[in-house]
Copies of this chain bind each other. A is one copy, B any other.
Amino acid sequence: MIRSDAAPAGPIGMSATATWSHRPLPGRGARLTGGLLHDWQQRNLAESLPLALRQLEAAGNLDNVRLAIRAAADGAGGAGTAVRYRGPVFMDSDIYKTLEAIGWELAHGDRPELAAFAARAISLLKQAQLPDGYLDSYFQVTGEPKYSRLASSHEMYCAGHLIQAAVALRRGAGDARLLEVAKRLADHLVREFLGQARGLDGHPIIETALVELYRETANEDYLALARQFVDQRGAGLAGDSGLGRRYLQDHLPVRQSVTEVGHVVRALYLEAGVVDVAAETGDAELLKSSVNRWADMVATKTYLTGGNGSRHSDEGFGDRFELPPDRAYNETCAAIASFHWSWRLLLATGDAKYADHMERVLYNGFASGVSADGQRFFYVNPLQRREDHFEQDDPGRRHEWFSCSCCPPNIMRLVASLDHYIASTGVSSTGDDTLYLHQLTGSQVAGAGLEVEVVTGYPWSGRVEVTVGTAASGERGLAVRVPGWSEVTGYRLNDDPERPVVTAGGYLLLRREWRPGDRVTVELDMTPRVHRPDRRVDAVRGCLAVERGPLVYCFEQADQPAGTRVDDLLLTPDGALSEAPVTLDGVGETIQVRVPARAVRPGDADGGGPAEPGTPTEDVTAVGVPYFQWDNRDGGPMRVWIPADGAPGALG
């Protein structure tokens, strides 16, 4: 392997020999300077990460590692410890996700408290690691046999997150201390599993982690083990978790599988690993199988918000077109896994549809995972909450932390690294000479010999200004993604009058010799629009949804006219939508969308409850806010999909 000269300091430090269409930005890449993504990263630093640091002590994650240290000192089993291991078997992974977030965050500037926490945690982990490299506090504390129940043990899942944290600390902060721990642990896995058919971890992530460690260390055993874990799927080696082989994506060889099944987060982390392995090994067949499953998933098993997972019972994908808004699972971790997978496919293929989908996920199904104040989190992200919602399996409100708290620190590691996902350079025969801007947001971006500043109020505004700061000599490309939901409604290069737009594969693409001060201005159409569902989605037949720019809207009880229940709204499909920028308590700045509607008026006979068919209606204005901003006020009803007026079943 030849290490790329300009390996990025973010996720995917791809090797020079790998087969990709795009590369992440070299070096530190982009910087977020303003707008939603920048604000989310600031909130993540100021509010969310300090919460995680407190919770990792309070919930017992760090104490578990301390118990493992004591168990190592006492001999296996830790029988001498009066205090017991706390929490689910994968508690270590929450520490690692937090350390990964810290790794990416330390690249943004001095964060003494985060750095101090990382130093303490790394010290504990070094002490807890066994001489042979094994490290997993649950198995060290309980003395349960190692690698003996891989379907549920999460041992390699935890190892994978440790490796990713180590890579982030190395790339983001130049801190290689955890990387030494990670290499010893990975070497242990190589010794135990490489070249054998001993088992597969029931919860993937080790695959991407090993590829990243290979990229960081040039140790080809890591890539070989990742490839082996991908190739061994489908033979029952993951064992039995009690939920069947589909649940573990172990029902079919990866190359033969045509649709996503089973536990969503497991499936999508595996897919990210599949693309990593395919690209690093030049395996076009393997890549194609992942490309095909992505297309199937987005067409048949994905919510309007970009979320995946229709079932609570196994945190799983449902059947094709089984997409109930009320019982949507849409785990926040699944959105993160989806984002990671799509990014790899975007780099591998250069197809803008992956960037489009990343945008949908990012601003909707992922962003809804955090409260406006950054201190509460959704595990489940449904598209509807009814008035009497209260069942146990979905509390319906964001929580500060969970007994299974995989989502909050996962959110933190993605938000801390968002700057690495907004742009890339395109690989061509003449070198990486085109800078692609995938996510339109206030930023400074450097790549392909260009340094540009992006100024925009996106996603609130559709105007995007890209100004060239410095430009290397020679002709270079600058590509601005045009989202699939919009035409380019205005476009200027410097002070030239408006001119024909040249788009290529979803990008407005300009090739020229650039000079400092050159400015490209693009206008996108942010007019609110009505979305009609695919006829095959049974659960929202006869309903409409509203979108504006990349944002899916929702209708919360708090915003509706007095006396109008969300569940009594009927949207008038052909009415004119309007918008209004407002600041709402709890929510902050937003743009409301106002939609002509009728409201059913339950009479006295209904006892205040929902109306019977035939009940009179009244003209009203339904008021929507972006879905990601929901549940920042009361716990009232919410709907993304509202019945269309005039539909059979609306008042049938």
Taking Cβ atoms with an 8 Å cutoff, the residues of A that contact B are: 243-244, 246-247, 259, 261-262, 311-314, 316-322, 324-327, 384, 386-393, 532-536, 538-543, 567, 573, 610-613, 641, 643-644, 646-652
A261 contact set on B, CB distance < 8 A: 390-391
Enumerate 10 A-B pairs (CB-CB under 8 Å) in ascending A order: A243-B392, A311-B312, A317-B391, A319-B326, A322-B326, A533-B652, A541-B542, A541-B543, A541-B647, A542-B542
- Shortest beta-carbon distance from A575 to chain B in Å: 14
A386 contact set on B, CB distance < 8 A: 319-322
A314 contact set on B, CB distance < 8 A: 391-393
- Shortest beta-carbon distance from A46 to chain B in Å: 34
A317 contact set on B, CB distance < 8 A: 391
CB pair A538–B538 under 8 Å, yes or no, is no
A316 contact set on B, CB distance < 8 A: 391
Task: Give the interface centre of A322, A325, A613, A648 by most chain B CB atoms within 10 Å.
Answer: A648
A541 contact set on B, CB distance < 8 A: 541-543, 643, 647-650
CB pair B652–A649 under 8 Å, yes or no, is no
- Shortest beta-carbon distance from A647 to chain B in Å: 4
Output the nearest chain B residue to A610 by Cβ-Cβ distance: B536
CB pair B392–A542 under 8 Å, yes or no, is no
CB pair B532–A648 under 8 Å, yes or no, is yes
A391 contact set on B, CB distance < 8 A: 246, 261-262, 311, 314, 316-319
CB pair A652–B312 under 8 Å, yes or no, is no
A388 contact set on B, CB distance < 8 A: 259, 319-320
CB pair B535–A650 under 8 Å, yes or no, is yes
A535 contact set on B, CB distance < 8 A: 611, 613, 643, 649-652
- Shortest beta-carbon distance from A374 to chain B in Å: 28
Output the nearest chain B residue to A650 by Cβ-Cβ distance: B535
A649 is contacted by which of B313, B389, B533 (Cβ under 8 Å)? B533
A322 contact set on B, CB distance < 8 A: 326-327, 386
CB pair B392–A573 under 8 Å, yes or no, is no
A262 contact set on B, CB distance < 8 A: 391-392
- For the A-B complex with A324-B539, A541-B648, A647-B648 known, give 7 more contacts whose Cβ atoms are closer than 8 Å: A262-B392, A320-B610, A322-B386, A327-B327, A532-B649, A535-B649, A541-B643
Determine the distance from Cα of A261 to Cα of B644 in the docked complex, in whole angstroms.
30
Q: A327-B322, A648-B644 are in contact. Are A536 and B259 (CB under 8 A)?
A: no
CB pair B534–A652 under 8 Å, yes or no, is yes
Q: A314-B392, A391-B318, A652-B534 are in contact. Are A647 and B613 (CB under 8 A)?
A: no
CB pair B538–A384 under 8 Å, yes or no, is yes
Output the nearest chain B residue to A384 by Cβ-Cβ distance: B538
CB pair B648–A542 under 8 Å, yes or no, is yes
A311 contact set on B, CB distance < 8 A: 312-313, 327, 391, 393
Q: A312-B313, A610-B321, A646-B648 are in contact. Are A538 and B326 (CB under 8 A)?
A: yes
Output the nearest chain B residue to A647 by Cβ-Cβ distance: B648
A540 contact set on B, CB distance < 8 A: 538, 649
A536 is contacted by which of B326, B543, B567, B641 (Cβ under 8 Å)? B567
A611 contact set on B, CB distance < 8 A: 535
Q: A261-B391, A314-B391, A393-B311 are in contact. Are A573 and B648 (CB under 8 A)?
A: yes
Output the nearest chain B residue to A641 by Cβ-Cβ distance: B538
**Those 6 A-B pairs whose CB atoms lie nearest each other, nearest first:** A542-B542, A541-B649, A244-B392, A312-B313, A541-B542, A542-B649
- Shortest beta-carbon distance from A267 to chain B in Å: 13
Determine the distance from Cα of A247 to Cα of B533 in the docked complex, in whole angstroms.
34
Determine the distance from Cα of A316 to Cα of B130 in the docked complex, in whole angstroms.
45
Determine the distance from Cα of A57 to Cα of B319 in the docked complex, in whole angstroms.
37
Determine the distance from Cα of A325 to Cα of B262 in the docked complex, in whole angstroms.
21
A567 contact set on B, CB distance < 8 A: 536
A390 contact set on B, CB distance < 8 A: 246, 261, 319
A647 is contacted by which of B244, B247, B392, B649 (Cβ under 8 Å)? B649
A392 is contacted by which of B246, B325, B534, B543 (Cβ under 8 Å)? B246
- Shortest beta-carbon distance from A203 to chain B in Å: 16
Determine the distance from Cα of A388 to Cα of B314 in the docked complex, in whole angstroms.
17
- Shortest beta-carbon distance from A500 to chain B in Å: 30
A393 contact set on B, CB distance < 8 A: 243, 311, 313-314
Determine the distance from Cα of A20 to Cα of B190 in the docked complex, in whole angstroms.
74
A319 contact set on B, CB distance < 8 A: 326, 386-391
A324 is contacted by which of B324, B532, B534, B646 (Cβ under 8 Å)? B324
A648 contact set on B, CB distance < 8 A: 532, 541-542, 573, 644, 646-647
Task: Give the interface centre of A317, A535, A542 by most chain B CB atoms within 10 Å.
Answer: A535
Output the nearest chain B residue to A296 by Cβ-Cβ distance: B609
A613 contact set on B, CB distance < 8 A: 532, 534-535
